[in-house]
Structure 1
Amino acid sequence: MLSLFISSIAALHALAVALPGPQPHPLSIALTKSFTLRNADGLVDPASIRAHITSTEAKLQRGAAAFERNTGKALFSTPPTKRAGESGSAPLVDDSNKIWIGAIEAGTPPKAFTIDFDTGSPDLFLPGESCGNACSGQERYNPSSSSSAQALGKTFQVAYGDGSAAEGDLYKDTVTFAGFKATGQTFGVATNATDFSQEKYDGLMGMSFPSLSNFPANPVFNTLVAQGAVPESVFAFKLASSGSELRVGGVNSALYKGSFTYTPVTKQAYWQIDGDGIGVNGKNVIKKFSAIVDSGSSLILGNSAQVKQLYAATDATEVQKGVYALPCDAMPHVSITLGGKAFPLSAETLNRGPIESSGKTCIGAIHGSDSIGDKYQWILGDVFMRNVYTVFDVGNSRVGFAELA
């Protein structure tokens, strides 16, 4: 069954109605994050973290399968381990530990939806009118209520390894994103799903490259770029405990300081880049590696052997496969070097919280996996992104990082 570890979300800002043509300035969406990896006592639940790792692994497996269908080439030199029963399709929504949420609008007249923005997947999914009790907590997209809706006569299906599934129809319609209007945008509309009730967000918007699409179709932002609707072909994230936002069509200079350090995308699928190293307490422990920058993941995930090597430099103990505990007051000084610049991770983001009632032992936020692609593949999720201002440059196929202001 899909994870249901979602708490209540804060009120979301409504989007401005888009003006005709490209706007002179980029616009922002306020973001809220709401999830829990803790039990009723407020303690971190290693099993929930393990489930989140498994979900991230499955997302990469689905993306790799879609990339191979679309391009005829393998995404990873060592394909991710595929779990029995899983399809190669993208999910309707990611699990509940991956939600940086804001608002979009779809249809004519426009209807607002609460969306999980995910740079680790490409497609837009919304719940449909006929989704039934499985989508009882969501706003529904009704094509008969939109004068710009166009049925494509095609369906999508997604099956999870745990038996959960979703299916629906493909439509084209107008999607308004941060005030910018994408016309004729292809997206999936769920007509049926299992175990999707009680979710407090409506759907998912992927922001990776089109080569991962299961439709296949351009992601919404790529459609905006192709239609000349945005002033710049970039979007940027600030992820923090407060003041989080997604900037569309530019960057917000008030949210960072200094200049950006850019690193090129190595393969236009995920936002995949090469890293220079990972240091622990002043020592470079991990050298060259490949990384996917993924707002749809709540963790930093790396090859199990490398993660074990990293924690060997600390006083840590593995409490579940790939999940490590260490003294709460002894979080290591970790830095990740990209484009020749070291970006330190705060102790706050590295500490997931206590695992026992004394509050002395905590879970570290860097986890191990053997099923995420190439041997030296890492996932840089929000544990990393909360320490930097991140710009995704579609036009120049690169990712930039700057210090937070």
Structure 2
Amino acid sequence: MRSLHALSVVLSVGVASIGVESLSIPFQKRASPHSSWVRLSTQNPDDDPFGFQNINNNIYTGTLEVSGQPFIVQIDTGSSDLWLDTKGTRLQGLTDTGVVGSILYVDGTGAVGNIDLGNVTWGEFTVEQQAFINAPGSNATAGGQIQGLLGVGPPLLSNVDAALSASKSKADGSSFLDNVFAFYPDEPNFMTFYLSRSEVGTIDGGEFTIGDVVQNFSDITQTPKLNVVSPDNWFTFMDAVNINGDQLYGGSLGSPEVKVPDNQTLILLDSGTSLSTAPPDYVDAMYKNLPNASFDDESGFYIVPCDSKVNVSMVFGENEFPMHPIDLILPAAIDDDGSVVCVGVFTYAPDNAGVDFILGDAFLRNVYSLFDFGNWAKVGDGFPFMQILSVTDIEKAWAEFDTLNKARLDAFVASHSSSSSSSTTSDATAASTQARPPISTSKSGSGIKDASGALADSDSSSSSVDLSNVLRLSYIIIGMLGLIVVLLIGAVVTMVVRNRRSGGKGYKTLHDPVPPSHEKPYQSSYSDYTTPYADGGH
């Protein structure tokens, strides 16, 4: 039995749920050498009290304290709750609300426990009696790489607030960030992300700010505002995707609540998602025609040569936001001959997802992003919006890809050279046998369009594809499934490679993507919307 080496494929996704606003709670700010708003930054790690870190380009974390105990937590724009795995710690001074909170994910992981109130400190800020789910022994901690999650998404996503409100508890369930905003009602209610890129391992996360912008990227305030089209998700509309010089547009899979304008698609910017998802036609256009690339029905990934270079840019209005080619291909496993097996970062979005594109960290590393909460915040006004500023020079990125990719592959092989124990194999086998319901996907009947605006030929037949692994890797469940997920992906990729060598039928070539398309000015609308994930799971 072969060894499995896929330890750098950790997925991450955020969670959506419905919550209700409640009263503010005591909040204090520690003494700071800065202005009233503190930049959460790792520009100089020695001066960073916030512990903003990048773990293998998969999870971006901060370090907060509860009752003086440190916890490494993922920072997630796709959720709004704080939950902590407190196993092995003894927290003093907590108040038990008597209400149980839960965040459950489709793969069976989750955080369940009493909703407690305690003093939570992140860097210069302390919120007294902050509500959080005390979940000792949670199995959603990425194999122990993190100890919880800090949601910095829309307040209405809060499971904690919803549970406390439903129980008629007088405890405040507001999110940590909403409490921060409430303490400074005259200051702007926005946050920004500048995500770092690593070859392998844990490095500084880049820069994360609240109420301030990174000096080198101050031009972001002059970029077009992307209007948020949902009251409880960072949803907006995108105009097109430029793939290897072909500009494709349209072909939305549809949303049960948000009306997607003709020729546009609905997208989510999610720091809690490691990879990205897209409608099948777009994914095919990215990877299908690469030499020796094949799509695997079983895993839901395109298996591609590791030296593949894809030129992809997201188009919002008149502006294109290119992705570095290093962010479009991912090392996933080590083959029997010692070579690295790579997969495409974009995977199929199910047609019942409620959103067309989830643009996770793979995309967000290529932009400086600003999220303004507007009237989502208790003290805010105006509609929420997002702004993005390109930080990728595509010509430089294209020229440096070969050098960066070789370094990444060498690091990947080196980091897994001693990971061939039988226990790893048995863990992967157990993980791969867990029952997961298949999700049926079908091509969009409308299809993406060419430059003339005519519908391109598209296979409209449905095919049953087990996308549980895709969901684990890039859809909205949660991005901290850890070692089990990693080994599962490794097992699938291993099986795929072996099947290919034995002449098996593990690969299925899909239909051709449509030709170049069309760009139209950015437009959006705001409408009432209830997240399709209101039950708290995906």
Same fold (TM over 0.5): yes
Mapped pair 1:337 → 2:315: yes
Q: Which residue of 2 aligns with 1:102?
A: 62
Q: Which residue of 1 aligns with 2:326?
A: 348
Structure with greater proportional helix content: 2
Q: Which residue of 2 aligns with 1:249?
A: 211
Residue 237 of structure 1 and its aligned partner are, at CA, apart by 0.8
Q: Which residue of 1 aligns with 2:40?
A: 28
Mapped pair 1:187 → 2:132: yes
The correspondence of residues 180-219 of structure 1 with structure 2, limited to 5 A, is 180-194=125-139, 199-216=144-161, 217-219=173-175
Q: Which residue of 2 aligns with 1:85?
A: none
Look up the SS of the partner of 1:215 in the other structure: helix
Structure whose alpha-carbon radius of gyration is higher: 2
Go from structure 1 to structure 2 and tell me whether the alpha carbon gap of 1:341 and 1:202 turns closer, same or farther (over 3 Å shift): same
Out of 291, 295, 314, the residue aligned to residue 267 of structure 2 is 291
Where structure 2 has 5 or more consecutive residues not aligned to the other structure, the ranges are: 1-5, 10-27, 43-51, 162-172, 198-203, 251-263, 375-382, 393-538
Could you tell me whether the CA contact under 8 Å between 1:120 and 1:294 is conserved in 2?
Answer: yes
Could you tell me whether the CA contact under 8 Å between 1:6 and 1:34 is conserved in 2?
Answer: no
Residue 332 of structure 1 and its aligned partner are, at CA, apart by 1.6
Go from structure 1 to structure 2 and tell me whether the alpha carbon gap of 1:111 and 1:192 turns closer, same or farther (over 3 Å shift): closer
The correspondence of residues 177-326 of structure 1 with structure 2, limited to 5 A, is 177-194=122-139, 199-216=144-161, 217-228=173-184, 231-241=187-197, 244-255=206-217, 259-287=222-250, 288-312=264-288, 314-315=290-291, 316-320=293-297, 321-326=299-304
Could you tell me whether the CA contact under 8 Å between 1:296 and 1:381 is conserved in 2?
Answer: yes
Out of 78, 84, 87, the residue aligned to residue 120 of structure 1 is 78
Q: What is the rounded CA distance, in whole Å, between the counterparts of 2:209 and 2:186 in structure 1?
A: 11
How big is each residue's C-alpha offset from its partner over 1:361-404, in whole Å with a ceiling of 9 and x where there is no partner?
63221111316623x52100010001011111112511111133
Q: What is the rounded CA distance, in whole Å, between the counterparts of 1:180 and 1:326 in structure 2?
A: 45
Could you tell me whether the CA contact under 8 Å between 2:111 and 2:133 is conserved in 1?
Answer: no
Q: Give the aligned CA root-mean-square deviation in angstroms.
A: 3.2
Out of 361, 365, 370, the residue aligned to residue 350 of structure 2 is 370
Could you tell me whether the CA contact under 8 Å between 1:126 and 1:189 is conserved in 2?
Answer: yes
Q: Which amino acid aligns with 2:192?
A: A
Residue 208 of structure 1 and its aligned partner are, at CA, apart by 1.0
> What TM-score do the two structures reach when normalised by structure 1?
0.69
Residue 29 of structure 1 and its aligned partner are, at CA, apart by 4.0
Q: Which residue of 1 aligns with 2:430?
A: none
Could you tell me whether the CA contact under 8 Å between 2:286 and 2:310 is conserved in 1?
Answer: no
Could you tell me whether the CA contact under 8 Å between 1:120 and 1:206 is conserved in 2?
Answer: yes
Q: What is the rounded CA distance, in whole Å, between the counterparts of 2:40 and 2:101 in structure 1?
A: 31
> What TM-score do the two structures reach when normalised by structure 2?
0.53
Could you tell me whether the CA contact under 8 Å between 1:328 and 1:359 is conserved in 2?
Answer: no
Residue 323 of structure 1 and its aligned partner are, at CA, apart by 1.1
Q: What is the rounded CA distance, in whole Å, between the counterparts of 1:205 and 1:308 in structure 2?
A: 34
Could you tell me whether the CA contact under 8 Å between 1:23 and 1:229 is conserved in 2?
Answer: no
Go from structure 1 to structure 2 and tell me whether the alpha carbon gap of 1:5 and 1:213 turns closer, same or farther (over 3 Å shift): farther
Could you tell me whether the CA contact under 8 Å between 1:390 and 1:400 is conserved in 2?
Answer: yes
Where structure 1 has 5 or more consecutive residues not aligned to the other structure, the ranges are: 8-15, 36-96, 129-134
Q: Which residue of 2 aligns with 1:78?
A: none
Q: Which residue of 2 aligns with 1:131?
A: none
Q: What is the rounded CA distance, in whole Å, between the counterparts of 1:372 and 1:29 in structure 2?
A: 38
Look up the SS of the partner of 2:177 in the other structure: helix
Go from structure 1 to structure 2 and tell me whether the alpha carbon gap of 1:105 and 1:231 turns closer, same or farther (over 3 Å shift): farther
Look up the SS of the partner of 1:384 in the other structure: helix
Q: What is the rounded CA distance, in whole Å, between the counterparts of 2:209 and 2:273 in structure 1?
A: 19
Aligned residues: 316
Structure with greater proportional strand content: 1
Q: Which residue of 2 aligns with 1:87?
A: none
Look up the SS of the partner of 1:226 in the other structure: helix
Go from structure 1 to structure 2 and tell me whether the alpha carbon gap of 1:293 and 1:163 turns closer, same or farther (over 3 Å shift): closer
Q: What is the rounded CA distance, in whole Å, between the counterparts of 1:165 and 1:243 in structure 2?
A: 25
Go from structure 1 to structure 2 and tell me whether the alpha carbon gap of 1:170 and 1:352 turns closer, same or farther (over 3 Å shift): same
Residue 319 of structure 1 and its aligned partner are, at CA, apart by 2.9
Residue 274 of structure 1 and its aligned partner are, at CA, apart by 0.9
How big is each residue's C-alpha offset from its partner over 1:215-255, in whole Å with a ceiling of 9 and x where there is no partner?
22332111211222784211111111256121122211225
Go from structure 1 to structure 2 and tell me whether the alpha carbon gap of 1:324 and 1:197 turns closer, same or farther (over 3 Å shift): closer
Q: What is the rounded CA distance, in whole Å, between the counterparts of 2:388 and 2:83 in structure 1?
A: 29
Q: What is the rounded CA distance, in whole Å, between the counterparts of 1:364 and 1:195 in structure 2?
A: 24
Q: What is the rounded CA distance, in whole Å, between the counterparts of 2:358 and 2:308 in structure 1?
A: 24
Q: Which amino acid aligns with 1:179?
A: E
Q: Which amino acid aligns with 1:268?
A: P
How big is each residue's C-alpha offset from its partner over 1:48-96, in whole Å with a ceiling of 9 and x where there is no partner?
xxxxxxxxxxxxxxxxxxxxxxxxxxxxxxxxxxxxxxxxxxxxxxxxx
Go from structure 1 to structure 2 and tell me whether the alpha carbon gap of 1:317 and 1:202 turns closer, same or farther (over 3 Å shift): same
Look up the SS of the partner of 1:284 in the other structure: strand
Residue 278 of structure 1 and its aligned partner are, at CA, apart by 0.8
Look up the SS of the partner of 2:80 in the other structure: coil
Could you tell me whether the CA contact under 8 Å between 1:233 and 1:250 is conserved in 2?
Answer: no
Out of 69, 74, 99, the residue aligned to residue 111 of structure 1 is 69
Could you tell me whether the CA contact under 8 Å between 1:257 and 1:404 is conserved in 2?
Answer: no
Q: What is the rounded CA distance, in whole Å, between the counterparts of 1:23 and 1:363 in structure 2?
A: 45
